[in-house]
Amino acid sequence: MRDVQDKLRATAKDLLASGKVELVLGFEPASLPMRTRACFARTADAAERLVWNEFCSQNLAAYLPRLFEKPAHIRGDWTPPKVAVVTKNCDARSIIGLVKEHQLARENVVIIGMPCQGMVDPEKAAATVDERIAQACLECVSPSPIGADILIEGQSRPAAADRFQRVKDFEALTPAQRWDAFVKEISKCTRCYACRQACPNCYCKSCFIEQSKPSWAGAGDDLADLLLFHIGRMFHQAGRCVECDACVRACPMGIDLRLFTQKLVKDVEELFGYVPGVSLDDLPPLCTFQSDDSECFVTGPGEE
Amino acid sequence: MAQGSIKKADLGKLIEAVRRDGRFFGPIDQGDGACLAEVTPDAVLKLDYANFTLPPKRMFFPRSEVIATHEASGMAAVPVQEGQVVLFGVRPCDALALTYLDKVFVDKQFTDPYYRSRRERTLVISLACREPAATCFCTSVHGAPDGRAGADILAVEVGEALVLESLTKAGEAFMTHHAKLFASPTPAQRTACDAQASEAAKKVSAVPIDGLKAKLSGCAENAGVWDDIAERCLACGVCTYLCPTCHCFGLYDEQVGQTMRRVRAQDACTFPTFTQEASGHNPRTRHGMRMRQRVMHKFCYATENFGDIFCVGCGRCVASCPAHLDIRETITEVSQ
Amino acid sequence: MAFLCNWCSYAGADLAGVSRLQYPTHVRVIRVPCSGRVNPLYIVKALQLGVDGVLVSGCHPGDCHYISGNLVARRKFALLKSFLEYVGIEPGRVQFSWVSASEGNRFADLIQKVSDDIRKLGPARQLKKEAR
């Protein structure tokens, strides 16, 4: 992993020194052990701070939309910056998703694809090497970087075979059991919106939950409002979610959001054959249709 | 001042006695570490925790509460609740935070009836820290692993026993009321208490706080340092909702069925909507301004208004920040 | 609560009415320009406000006044229904159908069926916000 980090630093320095990009967005050590945080490297010297290890779990794509938003205090013309981003494959897919939804221009981002061995779940950090990998990484079906502009060579972890086992197990429960489990998770919510802010594909400038004319939900932590917020937010990620687990990591209350967001991923894949963030050529699944899309959910009055 | 010791194994008896005429909240493992929750007869107390994820301020100033309702008969304030509550296992930093909240909510001029009522009928038993977390910095901000401010009784774990010391009249009355459950602490136990506290204090990280206020006062909104720090911030509300002293709130009117109700809900200065005006104008245009507001409120405005830094060094904002920002680093960075 | 598209299902309801067809009366119709106009949040919000069931009905696939509104909506609703049932909302609370302007009978039958289904489930409490 050390040589991968060296290659990354060399690449970043080269990009910055040659003026190909103004900013390299990567990882640097955070104040606590076994944690990294975003590094905004704007000079070749600053690129020395970049690290690459098994704690680079944050999805840096979450910072991108605001970098390409014209600052409010600037009047007149403004040229968006050129930014290179250090990415795992899931992060790169988030970026493709953002490009597809016109949040940034593809030519303004340089995707640096890193080989990914899976990131460590801090909760499990004390466990043995194999067992401390985060659940999301264990279930990752495409750890190797694809579609990157610059590829840092190295070994990635093997792709997982089946990632939906937990969803299938959950589907097998009765509706009442599922509802109890859902309510148990969501009632932990303290409504800090960390899931939304950490999610790279939650880029709305004004979230539905904060709209007030009219308002969708009350401002407090009434369970009915929490449920509405989470159902709404998760559903908005249908066809966008790349299973990077940013929301799960961000949640201070340990809500198992993944169990629910993954259902949407699974449905989108099964019903529409769509995998988010892989290609720029296909349309987002909810912007298009096929004449033979599933009708199995439609109520026909004559049926029983 | 009353003192007493009780075996950890006998805590159940104390809980049972308290539950006869009130409610008892203590550290309970609910699957994700210890959580301050109501103790029921079959619950098992968990004492080996650094701190709760959510601060105990929620017991006095909840995330949201209905304060008034409006029905056909007119508008009515929601009456304050009654009944004794005992909180056990509050960490000294969080107890200290309660004294700061007191200054805000039980002011000479304005008193919050809901907060005051909860404070008056709640007995706080704090539990001294033996193993501070890597994120703790209480000793830099007027706290200590065995800090006494804000609690009615301080409990210290010594081996298989808890040594209790009352700090207020209410605490003393509680100890007297349950006197038959307590033994007299031995001198060895008392020495152990002090030794543990100084040992724990050594493990707490230090933050340069001296002269911070003067430096902050000179740190204008357009100083680049705020934007540099805020660049990494994801602008969620984890730090504010998990903070034991953050107390900003909003009032919201909402309709539920045939009832209009007025809800008071905690707000967070890290959200752009915090300062957004009805016209749509927002005086805090950049996230750096919001970052500055949070730091300034805690370390500058609070000292001006209340004479205290509104940070108790519990480290929640450090431990739970999804972007791994660290208030200790922020302070250091700003004061340079 | 029934969200009916202006061009087909609402006209279908109209036809059921002028044809003097009998169907349950406790349906509250909201006319929308197209089934594609129905934001999934409308459905969740309706349940929060205390309705016992939601029906969305539009033109048959291929007959949309706006060419493809209902076809895009079909994808959205397929996902939404599956997701709501996954988190444990009782199956039958939220239903989708197609009724054309000429199908007064189908509309009456549909309302009868949806109404029966919801009656069997009883009052909806899961997402409802209670005044307490």
Q: Are residues B192 and B226 in the same domain?
A: no
Please state the rounded mean pLDDT for residues C21-28: 93
Please state the rounded mean pLDDT for residues C84-92: 95
B208 vs A208 pLDDT, higher one: A208
pLDDT attached to residue C23: 94
Residue A81's Cβ-side half-sphere holds a number of Cα atoms within 13 Å equal to 20
Indicate if the pLDDT at residue A122 is higher than 60: yes
List for chain C the helix, strand, coil content (%; round to 5).
Answer: 45, 15, 40
For the ranges A88-102, A127-141, B172-186, the lowest mean pLDDT is seen at A127-141
Task: Specify the DSSP class assigned to residue A216.
Answer: S
List Cβ<8 Å contacts ≥24 apart for B280-285.
B285/A72, B285/A73
Q: Does domain C2-121 have CATH number 3.40.50?
A: yes
Please state the rounded mean pLDDT for residues B5-34: 88
CA angle A250, A251, A253 (to 5 degrees): 150
Nearest beta carbon to residue C113 from set A232, A294, A301: A301
| Interface with B, mutate which of A23, A27, A28, A31 (most B CBs under 10 A) | A31
Q: Are residues B283 and B242 in the same domain?
A: yes
pLDDT attached to residue A74: 84
ipTM for the complex? 0.95
Q: Are residues B116 and B258 in the same domain?
A: no
Q: Are residues B270 and B131 in the same domain?
A: no
Q: Are residues B38 and B73 in the same domain?
A: yes
Q: Are residues B120 and B248 in the same domain?
A: no
Distance of CA B208 to the CA centre of its chain: 22
Query: How does pLDDT run across A176-231, given as a tens digit for each residue?
Result: 999 999 999 999 999 999 999 999 999 998 899 998 888 899 999 999 999 999 99
pLDDT attached to residue A212: 84
Round the average pLDDT of chain C to a whole number and report it. Answer: 94
CA distance A48 to chain B (A): 18
Name residues 219-248 of chain A within 8 A of C (Cβ).
222, 224-225, 227-228, 231-232, 234-235, 238
Domain boundary among B203, B231, B266: B203
Return the amino acid letter for A14: D
pLDDT attached to residue A302: 65
pLDDT attached to residue A304: 45
Query: How does pLDDT run across B141-165, given as a tens digit for each residue?
Result: 999 999 999 999 999 999 889 999 9
Tokens of A95: 């970026």
Contacts of A222 in chain C (CB under 8 A): 129
User: Which residues are bridge partners to B27 per DSSP?
Assistant: B36
Please state the rounded mean pLDDT for residues B2-29: 90
C31 vs B219 pLDDT, higher one: C31
* Residue bearing tokens 């309706």: C46
CA angle A139, A145, A149 (to 5 degrees): 155
The answer to whether C50 faces chain B, any CB pair under 8 Å, is: yes
Please state the rounded mean pLDDT for residues B20-42: 87
| Interface with A, mutate which of C68, C87, C97, C118 (most A CBs under 10 A) | C87
Per DSSP, the three-state class of B239 is: helix
Query: How does pLDDT run across A144-173, given as a tens digit for each residue?
Result: 888 899 999 888 898 988 889 999 999 999
Round the average pLDDT of chain A to a whole number and report it. Answer: 91
Query: How does pLDDT run across B108-146, given as a tens digit for each residue?
Result: 888 999 999 999 999 999 999 999 999 999 999 999 999
List Cβ<8 Å contacts ≥24 apart for C19-24.
C19/C104, C19/C105, C21/C104, C21/C105, C21/C107, C21/C108, C22/C108, C23/C107, C23/C108, C23/C109, C23/C111, C23/C112, C23/C115, C24/C111, C24/C112, C24/C115
The answer to whether C62 faces chain B, any CB pair under 8 Å, is: no
Q: Are residues B99 and B167 in the same domain?
A: yes
Contacts of B257 in chain C (CB under 8 A): 50, 129-131
pLDDT attached to residue A106: 93
Query: How does pLDDT run across B223-262, given as a tens digit for each residue?
Result: 788 988 999 999 999 999 999 999 999 999 999 988 899 9
Cβ separation of B241 and A192 shorter than 8 Å? yes
Q: Are residues B193 and B217 in the same domain?
A: no
Indicate if the pLDDT at residue B88 is higher than 70: yes
Q: Are residues B41 and B158 in the same domain?
A: yes
Q: Are residues B199 and B246 in the same domain?
A: no
Please state the rounded mean pLDDT for residues C99-105: 94
Query: How does pLDDT run across A3-58, given as a tens digit for each residue?
Result: 899 999 999 999 999 999 999 999 999 999 889 999 999 999 999 999 999 999 99
Q: pLDDT class for A129, splitting at 50, 70, 90?
A: low
pLDDT attached to residue A303: 53
Q: Are residues B27 and B63 in the same domain?
A: yes
pLDDT attached to residue B258: 86
Question: β-pairing, C54-58 with C94-98?
Answer: parallel
Nearest beta carbon to residue B236 from set A40, A193, A221: A193
Please state the rounded mean pLDDT for residues B161-170: 93
Distances (CA, A) of C9 to A90, B85, B210, C101, C103: 43, 58, 72, 6, 8
- Spans of all domains in chain C: 2-121
Contacts of A214 in chain C (CB under 8 A): none
Please state the rounded mean pLDDT for residues B190-206: 90
Parent domain of B11: 3-203
Q: Which residue of A has its CA nearest to B328?
A: A31
Q: Are residues B13 and B80 in the same domain?
A: yes
Contacts of C129 in chain A (CB under 8 A): 218, 222, 224-225
